Structure 1
Amino acid sequence: MATAGSATAAATAAEKEDTRSDDSESRSVIVEYIEKCNNTEETPSLRDFIFTCMDDIVKLTDLRKNVYRFWATKFGKVLRDLNVEGKAEEEIDWSFVKELIKQKKTQDATKTASNNIKTSSASKSTTKSAKLMTAGVLNEIKNSYEDVLKSKKVWKLESGRVVEEVMMNLALKLKYEHPIHSMIINPDDLVYADVFDESELDEIRNFKSIDFDQPLPEDLQVYLHSFIGKWIKDKVFDPLDEADMYWARQTIDEAVNLYNYKFFEDDYIEDDVEYCIWPFISKCFGPTPIRARSGKRKSQASSARHNQKRSLSAHEPTSRHTVGMQPDMKCLYLNYEIGFSEVGLKDDGASGTKELYECGMKAPKMMKDFFSAIINEQPSVIRSTKIAAFIISGLHMSALIMDSPEESVCRITQSERATFPCDADVCVRQLIPIIELVYRVRLYLMETVNAIKNDNQVLSLESSSSTTTSNHYSSSSSTTTTTDSTKKQKRQ
């Protein structure tokens, strides 16, 4: 008969065995990473290790342990054991790492036999953000980058380094999908801190920069700031002749009514976030040629990218048509998709799993789909085209703009995170900067509209076999190898 003492001893022995197993596996992950760095003559760093091997870290970390002590200490020890110089003393956002671990544990605990059951948006985000890059996909990505480098349509920095070459070398080292695999760069992404120096990152940010600071129409600017210190301005505007002023007044009226009707005192759902708190985003485009439509409409550009390799087959059944991404709101000009919004009910902060995935992966990929679809048909507008996204998490919103200032890689610029006022005392003070931000995004999209409208280049029709292109787009779900620059040369 087993005693309490023997049971405790057995549990302790099992725990020690688990610890030894965890230590062995975690050490193997670190050793493998350091060996890869040595093969590519890169300096191993704790920060790069965290981003490169995030999925392994999530899987191997026990939340009962000190996450920082477990990985940082072990990383430094392995460097010393292997007699390798590296960067072990770096500041890491361990709260972000811990959040991913918690999410992974929750997913594992609730996993069922069916993989087709819909889970929460946050759970889907985490799963999609950890897509493993296969050797075949990485080879196609390498080919895409090399095509750009051969075309000489590259972004050369003052230091003499070529942005696309640095990105290619980094992309081929990353184990999991990242926007860099789709030729998208966000200079504020920490993954670039070890491959570009600060002056180079500043140059990437500042070249033909997106600053969200364009001057507003003077009458709109004056009117908005006339609300400072006042509850409401009693003035009526004509919705046709004074559309911008009408929109601004309506936005403030509707925000005030949220307090009058005690909206924030009750629970609300995701649709309320879009249609009650942030409806003025889609309404801002009312006076323009841009059509803003809500209701989870699938993206044609995204569907085209997902199905670009689909064809009739003589040897096996034709693959099923894949539905593209479905944003909560979509902005269109003619048949071109030029902007969208993604709305979430819950706000876990800027470093929350859902917002990290949507700002860092989902939105950039869909923006690249939109961008590529336009440049496919009108390659001469590449420098003027801008795609926008609004990422909404409850009472918080960020705006993203994609452009291609050097006609090669696409750049992402993200605005400051804005907070919708949920208190009457700060309504005007917090709402005016948000109104200005939304209007400025509209100005960027109107640059795209005007570029398309004024493009006089006549394109010849070619056979579909000669025009298939990826527009620098490569992902683990769908990849091809022809680039925007190659496409442009064919058109000319």
Structure 2
Amino acid sequence: MASNDIRTFLKQFSAVKFYKYKGWSNSSLRQDAEEDLRQYLQKLSTSDDPLVKQRSTKLLGRFERMINAKHAEQYWNQQRRSQHKNVIEANIHSEHIAMSEKTTNAFISEIRNARTITLPRDQSPTTVYQDTIPDIFADDEKKEREVCTENESVAKGESEEESEDESVYEAGSSMWKEVEEVFRRMNDSQKWKLSTGKVVEDALFEYAIQCKFEHLSQSFIVDPDDTNGVFTEEELTEIEETDTKSLPDIPIDLMKYMNSFRKSSIKELRTQLSVVQDWEGANFSREYHFDHDWIKNSVHNLVQEYEGDNLVAGHSETHYLMHYWHIIDRCFLNLQDIHSVRGEASSFSSSHRKNKIRSVPGLMQVARKVMGRRGDLIIRKHHNEYENGEAGKEWEGENGTKILKERGLKALKMQKDMFVNLCNAVKWDVEKVRKLQVIGWIFSELNVLLLRLDSPRGYVCRVVRSPIYTIPQTFGLFGQQVVPFLALIWKAKAIVKEVVDIVESAEDRDDEDSQLQELQAVG
């Protein structure tokens, strides 16, 4: 039996029906029903399917603890009162309808996906379970908290969409269930199998279901910088080197002009800036000379910052974005219909994922649209997004808390949403999907890191990180650090341009029969 059938079979048992309609009263009938369910779970725990066996064993353990808990009745009654209040407020006249489906789904889903609990020696089982039993009803309590938070946001005039903070969220049952459903839909023959025999998707899934908090493995993103022991050094090297995408080459004339600003003093740099180039004036062509002009203006802006002694620590995040990192935004001005969005912008791609199951329930009001993940920079063309950025005002080193969360989780989760949205745009054409990549920037004070996310094999996405580049506080290192950073920005733009061309390229349907079949399938 497949693990996704367990829930269907559980609903047929008297114990589940008993919880669904009668709560925790009438202990004699409850004990008989529970014994039938226990025997069924014990049988499932001997299944040949490792996933079924694992889930059933955890479910059985959780079930045993649940039925022996002295606090079960207390929490059940509390849940009934809470749901009864919601029923009245929603003006739904049948309490039975509202409680039935929610209670069954919450009970079965939470128990089925529950994690094994190790009891500390200094605490009794009753004390420990008192803290864990509300997890059974976590879905309903979470929804109630979300509604309250949402109403507070609307009252403050923020938006009718839900907002999202920067925290690393605790992994709940809904997340585990979603990860398992995604994993179950994967075709084994299409997974990424390494030379060592390890299957990347399987390894990520095994680690994901152990995580208590949000992690890249739950989005099937593989990180070659992994330090969790999921893959060996040999396997990580293979992951990193498989179907690598080289950064675009800079045209030689542009590269020479960029390199001409490697000067040792501001005076020498101003002298170089004052030299009139052949492409300037009446000869300027936006199509051919925009990048040269962008380089010159970027260097000139930074010279003014050095002359004003503005490159010192202690500024706000907004200051760094406006004075230095706007260089990235301006590099994209020559790409038609591509816009940069700043100021904690919400991602269209992330919002699309979060609202994909949104519908009109009929029994109550339509749920508010959930806002996507927010970013400090989003580069988009219409509703397709190609680049994002996260910023921080303080540099605490490569392993500072904020940069760890943003380069190792938040930015990449948003990039994955953008990547999936681009895959939808190309209708999941495998050849095109393997060519796609999404750019991400991590800004921390005067330091910057480039992230690239692609999908070389199977169902997973891969992370590629650049070295950290710095705009130095003293001018002496300008040529050594700033000039390479300008080159990196240009290469990032070239990647975005390539991806836009892939997404917008017309499908090759020259065959008349194919064209006719396409027309026949309309609607």
Interval containing the TM-score (normalised by the shorter chain): 0.5 to 0.7
Secondary structure at the residue paired with 2:345? Answer: coil
Match of residue 59 from structure 2: none
Match of residue 171 from structure 1: 208
Match of residue 320 from structure 2: 273
Match of residue 462 from structure 2: 411
What letter corresponds to residue 197 of structure 1 in structure 2? T
How big is the alpha-carbon RMSD for the aligned residues of Structure 1 and Structure 2? 2.9
Larger radius of gyration: 2
Q: CA deviation at 1:195?
A: 2.5
More helix by share: 2
* 1:223-282 alpha-carbon deviations (Å, 9 max, x no partner): 122222353222344361411111111111111110112223685322221111121111
What letter corresponds to residue 452 of structure 2 in structure 1? I
Match of residue 7 from structure 1: none
Q: 1:293 aligns with which of 313, 324, 341?
A: 341
Gaps of 5+ in 1: 1-38, 41-113, 459-489
Match of residue 355 from structure 2: 307
Whether 1:196 and 2:231 are equivalent positions in the alignment is yes
Q: 2:176 aligns with which of 138, 145, 153?
A: 138
Whether 1:227 and 2:261 are equivalent positions in the alignment is yes
Q: 1:362 aligns with which of 410, 419, 426?
A: 410
What letter corresponds to residue 261 of structure 2 in structure 1? F
Secondary structure at the residue paired with 1:389? Answer: strand
Listed as ranges, the matches of 1:42-441 within 5 Å are 125=166, 128-129=167-168, 131-150=169-188, 152-191=189-228, 194-210=229-245, 212=247, 214-229=248-263, 231-232=268-269, 233=272, 234-236=275-277, 237=280, 238=284, 240=286, 241-264=288-311, 268-289=315-336, 290-378=338-426, 379-380=428-429, 381-441=432-492
CA distance in 2, matches of 1:156, 1:325: 32
Whether 1:447 and 2:498 are equivalent positions in the alignment is yes
Return the TM-score normalized by structure 1: 0.64
Secondary structure at the residue paired with 1:170? Answer: helix
Q: CA deviation at 1:430?
A: 1.2
Greater relative contact order structure (CA < 8 Å, 6+ sep)? 1
Distance change in 2, residues 1:173/1:296 (3 Å): closer
CA distance in 2, matches of 1:401, 1:363: 11
Secondary structure at the residue paired with 2:190? Answer: coil
Q: CA deviation at 1:387?
A: 0.6
Q: Is the 8 A contact 2:395 2:444 kept in 1?
A: yes
Distance change in 2, residues 1:359/1:271 (3 Å): same
CA distance in 2, matches of 1:402, 1:166: 19
* 1:62-105 alpha-carbon deviations (Å, 9 max, x no partner): xxxxxxxxxxxxxxxxxxxxxxxxxxxxxxxxxxxxxxxxxxxx
Q: CA deviation at 1:133?
A: 2.1
Q: CA deviation at 1:318?
A: 2.2
Q: CA deviation at 1:288?
A: 2.3
Gaps of 5+ in 2: 1-52, 55-148, 157-163, 510-520
* 1:122-152 alpha-carbon deviations (Å, 9 max, x no partner): x953xx21x22234432331221131234x2
Distance change in 2, residues 1:374/1:146 (3 Å): same
CA distance in 1, matches of 2:183, 2:508: 27
Q: Is the 8 A contact 1:350 1:356 kept in 2?
A: yes
Match of residue 25 from structure 1: none
Q: Is the 8 A contact 2:312 2:473 kept in 1?
A: no
Q: CA deviation at 1:291?
A: 2.6
What letter corresponds to residue 250 of structure 1 in structure 2? N
CA distance in 1, matches of 2:344, 2:443: 15
Secondary structure at the residue paired with 1:190? Answer: coil
Secondary structure at the residue paired with 1:422? Answer: coil
Match of residue 472 from structure 1: none
Q: Is the 8 A contact 2:314 2:394 kept in 1?
A: no
Match of residue 461 from structure 1: none
Q: Is the 8 A contact 1:210 1:413 kept in 2?
A: no
Q: CA deviation at 1:335?
A: 3.0
Match of residue 65 from structure 1: none
Match of residue 96 from structure 1: none
CA distance in 1, matches of 2:475, 2:235: 44
What letter corresponds to residue 146 of structure 1 in structure 2? R
What letter corresponds to residue 134 of structure 1 in structure 2? G
Q: Is the 8 A contact 2:380 2:386 kept in 1?
A: yes
Q: Is the 8 A contact 2:313 2:445 kept in 1?
A: no
Deviates more, 1:413-422 or 1:446-455: 446-455
Identical-residue share of aligned pairs (%): 26
Q: Is the 8 A contact 1:384 1:447 kept in 2?
A: no
Q: Is the 8 A contact 2:453 2:463 kept in 1?
A: yes
Q: Is the 8 A contact 1:297 1:330 kept in 2?
A: yes
CA distance in 2, matches of 1:329, 1:161: 37
Match of residue 100 from structure 1: none
Q: Is the 8 A contact 1:397 1:418 kept in 2?
A: yes
What letter corresponds to residue 482 of structure 2 in structure 1? L
CA distance in 2, matches of 1:165, 1:445: 31
CA distance in 2, matches of 1:323, 1:205: 33
Q: Is the 8 A contact 2:425 2:503 kept in 1?
A: no
* 1:348-388 alpha-carbon deviations (Å, 9 max, x no partner): 22211111111111111111111111112311221111111
Distance change in 2, residues 1:137/1:292 (3 Å): closer
Q: Is the 8 A contact 1:155 1:163 kept in 2?
A: yes
Q: Is the 8 A contact 1:327 1:340 kept in 2?
A: yes
Q: Is the 8 A contact 1:138 1:172 kept in 2?
A: yes
